[in-house]
């Protein structure tokens, strides 16, 4: 018998006695009344070993499973609803997503040989979200606990950023020892609706797949695409038009970048660990996803390449009442746009969460400017 793994436990070399016990039970199944172990109406299994749904794991579950496997008995009672696609039924005692004789032996080992506990049912996290449009497939929660989806047509992974409030901008005290720009104040409260944002900067392979071209100066499939202008991204037939994605607003970008932090850098709060910049890049971009994630599980929010933003630039926008409205976007003032996050050739100051690099021409193509799209859910 091959080794089965569940959670932290690893159970190999089960005794021949348990196998024999299972075979004996199989032989006597026709004489066993499975009605003695009925699943209660309206209840569900709480463990992968609770095949009959009675709330416990005992010999009745082993009999129930064997009856299902060898005597055309009822299927195991499912785990608590976890959304469409739940791969762990109530009979999957060893957690391998299958229901077979190995699960019976696992239960018997648990009952009679002090074996490892049966696998838990999947967490009650929905596999589908009614607000996620067709064209995205559920992946699951990342290590930070935020749900990820894959865009089917491009295979680009997005993280679902929950709605919430945050303080946007910076001050000398908050970003010490760095000096924030005057356009980063006043700090103001912003409320955002839920949105999806790409987990990483768009790679050259991603861009080539969608548009058929690669304008980048630093060439490599896994390197971030650069030398693409704001106008090219937003043009009919451009990347955003072809995918249905958008560029993030400044507020969305900073909220996503901070990931719950308030200082100059997110995640580990050590820039050397969070992204490629002047002091650690050797003058080259890094493959997307090379550094540590932030609190949302997003990668490369600091450094590597600047990221285009949707907003028009305004040095005084943060002082205007509309900057604190729901989902603020500045659509007036200067034609030029903002880029965020810093790049491989930027100083640490430029890579801060709150830094705004401004007056960027819509036709600029630069080998340090790329992008990270969002998908709006409202």
Give the pLDDT confidence of 239-285 residue by residue, as tens digits. 999 999 999 999 999 999 999 999 999 999 999 999 999 999 999 99
Least confident of 61-75, 159-173, 202-216, 325-339: 61-75
Task: Determine the angle formed by the axes of helices 16-28 and 101-112, rounding to 10 degrees.
Answer: 120
CA distance 294 to 372: 15
**Mean per-residue pLDDT for 86-93?**
60
At residue 102, the pLDDT reads 87
**Given a cut of 90, is residue 131 above it in pLDDT?**
no
At residue 240, the pLDDT reads 98
Least confident of 80-89, 210-219, 267-276, 338-347: 80-89
pLDDT digits over 29-70, tens only? 554 433 333 333 333 344 678 888 777 788 888 888 888 888
CA distance 246 to 160: 15
- Model confidence, pTM: 0.68
**Given a cut of 50, is residue 4 above it in pLDDT?**
no
Average pLDDT, the chain: 84
**Mean per-residue pLDDT for 13-17?**
51
Within its chain, how far is the Cα of 274 from the centroid? 17
The tokens of 37 are what? Answer: 């172990």
The CATH 3.90.1580.10 portion of the chain extends over 136-376
SS3 letters for 36-85?
HCCCCCCCCCCECCCCCCCCCCCHHHHHHHHHHHHCCCCCCCECCCCCCC
**Given a cut of 70, is residue 214 above it in pLDDT?**
yes
At residue 121, the pLDDT reads 63
> Are 149 and 125 spatial neighbours (Cβ–Cβ below 8 Å)?
no
**Given a cut of 90, is residue 343 above it in pLDDT?**
yes
pLDDT digits over 153-171, tens only? 999 999 999 999 999 999 9
Burial 142-156 (b: 16+ CB within 10 A, else e): beeebbbbbbeebeb
- Terminal-to-terminal C-alpha distance of the chain: 52
Among 1, 33, 36, 35, residue whose Cα is nearest residue 109: 1
Q: Which CATH class is domain 136-376?
A: alpha beta
Query: 351 falls in which pLDDT band (50, 70, 90)?
Result: very high
CA distance 80 to 311: 44
Q: Are strands 369-370 and 306-312 parallel, antiparallel or unpaired?
A: parallel
At residue 135, the pLDDT reads 92
At residue 132, the pLDDT reads 84
CA distance 316 to 314: 5
Among 259, 278, 256, 255, residue whose Cα is nearest residue 268: 259
């Amino acid at each position: 018998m091959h080794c089965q793994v569940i959670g932290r436990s690893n159970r190999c070399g089960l005794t021949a006695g348990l196998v024999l016990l299972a075979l004996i039970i199989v032989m006597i199944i026709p004489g066993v009344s499975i009605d003695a172990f009925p699943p209660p109406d309206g209840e569900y299994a709480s463990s992968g070993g609770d095949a009959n749904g009675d709330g416990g794991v005992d010999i009745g579950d082993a009999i129930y499973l064997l009856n299902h496997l060898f005597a055309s008995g009822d299927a195991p009672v499912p785990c608590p609803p976890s959304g469409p696609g739940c791969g762990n039924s109530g009979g999957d005692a060893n957690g391998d997503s299958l229901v077979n004789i190995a699960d019976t032996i696992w239960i018997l080992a648990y009952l009679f040989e002090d074996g490892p506990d049966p696998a838990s049912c999947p967490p009650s996290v929905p596999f589908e979200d009614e607000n996620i449009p067709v064209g995205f497939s559920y992946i699951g929660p990342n290590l930070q606990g935020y749900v990820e989806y894959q865009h089917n047509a491009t295979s680009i992974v997005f993280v679902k950023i929950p709605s919430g409030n945050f303080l946007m901008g910076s001050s000398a005290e908050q970003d010490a020892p760095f000096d924030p720009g005057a356009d980063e104040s006043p700090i103001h409260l912003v409320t955002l609706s839920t949105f999806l944002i790409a987990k990483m900067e768009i790679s050259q392979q991603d861009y080539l797949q969608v548009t058929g071209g690669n304008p980048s100066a630093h060439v490599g499939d896994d390197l971030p695409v650069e030398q693409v202008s704001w106008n090219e991204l937003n043009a009919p037939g451009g990347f955003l038009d072809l995918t249905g994605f958008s560029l993030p607003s400044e507020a969305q970008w900073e909220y996503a970048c901070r990931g719950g932090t308030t200082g100059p850098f997110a995640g580990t709060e050590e820039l050397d660990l969070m992204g490629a910049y002047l002091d650690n890049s050797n003058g080259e971009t890094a493959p997307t996803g090379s550094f540590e994630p932030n609190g949302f599980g997003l990668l490369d929010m600091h450094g590597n390449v600047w990221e285009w933003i949707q907003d028009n630039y305004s040095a005084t926008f943060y002082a205007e009442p509309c900057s604190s409205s729901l989902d603020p976007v500045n659509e007036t003032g200067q034609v030029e746009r903002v880029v965020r996050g810093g790049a491989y050739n930027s100083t640490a100051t430029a890579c801060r969460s709150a830094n705004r690099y401004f007056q960027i021409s819509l036709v600029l193509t630069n080998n340090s400017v790329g992008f990270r799209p969002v998908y709006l859910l409202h």
